[in-house]
Amino acid sequence: MPELITDLETLTLVIEVGGMPIRIHTTSPDFVDLLRDRYAGFISASERAEVEFDVDLMEPGEPNPDADVRVTQQQGRWSLRRGDFRAEWEPALRHGWIRQTANPYSIDCVLRIVHTLLLARQGGLLLHSASAIRNGKAFLFAGVSGAGKTTISRLAPSDVTLLTDEISYVRRQGDGGYVAFGTPFTGELAKLGENVSAPVAALYLLAQGPENRIDPVPAADAARSLLGNVLFFAEDEELVQSAFHAAVEFASRVPVLRLTFLPDARVWELIR
């Protein structure tokens, strides 16, 4: 009698961003190849994993990635949903599942959300900002869409290492300082950041203007601007409070400056 059930081999892959390894389990070799390509430079051989996700791939349907993201917590279990995916994750077990079609966008959104939740408990942040390393120091460039994150990334000279043109990954260190990591989360530049890190020297609030100049920003204004750039999805009072404290703490410890710039390479003469 022929076998009716065949065991499918489970394949695993670790995607490590910001020193946080997340292990993905799937039975689809094609999906593994897709992830290897999407997260090139961020695939890790780490044995350790902050979270493990079983990915259940659905048949293509009519997903709606433009639908609002909903992130809620009930009895220690996080539920993440958008039109194109559903996921659950139980931090105490470090385990969860994702149900999506075989595309890189859904899992990318899940990973961004999971990283915001992991970071929020540690005083870290995901910020809408470009970031780059120069002379061993990391600089962040925050601003609303159109403020110049992609432009300043594109203008970076050859001695600058780009960490991201869209989403900066910032972790708090034991000494009270902050470290910025490269991310695979890209913006208009569509270029993955380098998977390296450096201590954060300054955050610049971007504004395009008639000259290149740097002006100080009062700490409270800096905190308000920063809060407007924190990536956060969860409908959870405790985590909202954690994100608020993390942003205010960052603004009180890291120099926050306004960088007005002309869209040409000379602006980088000010950033050293």
Q: By the criterion CB under 8 A, which residues form the site for other proteins?
A: 218-220, 223-224, 227, 232, 237-238, 240-241, 244-245, 248, 251-252
Closest alpha carbon to 267 in 202, 213, 210, 209? 213
* Nearer Cβ to other proteins (189/219): 219
CA distance 186 to 167: 7
* Nearer Cβ to other proteins (102/219): 219
Strand pairing class (85-90; 95-100):
antiparallel
* Nearer Cβ to other proteins (97/244): 244
Closest alpha carbon to 223 in 203, 199, 197? 203
CA distance 265 to 49: 40
Cβ neighbourhood burial of 272 (10 Å; 0-12, 13-18, 19+): exposed
* Nearer Cβ to other proteins (116/151): 116
Q: Phi and psi of 26, rounded to 5°? A: -150, 160
* Nearer Cβ to other proteins (214/219): 219
* Nearer Cβ to other proteins (108/221): 221
Taking residue 206's Cβ as centre, other Cβ atoms within 10 Å add up to 21
CA distance 240 to 248: 12
Compute the least distance from the CB of residue 231 to other proteins, in Å: 13
* Nearer Cβ to other proteins (220/265): 220
Compute the least distance from the CB of residue 177 to other proteins, in Å: 18
CA distance 5 to 2: 9
Contact assessment for residue 97 and residue 10, using Cβ atoms and an 8 Å cutoff:
no
- Reduced to 3 states, what is the DSSP secondary structure of residue 10? coil
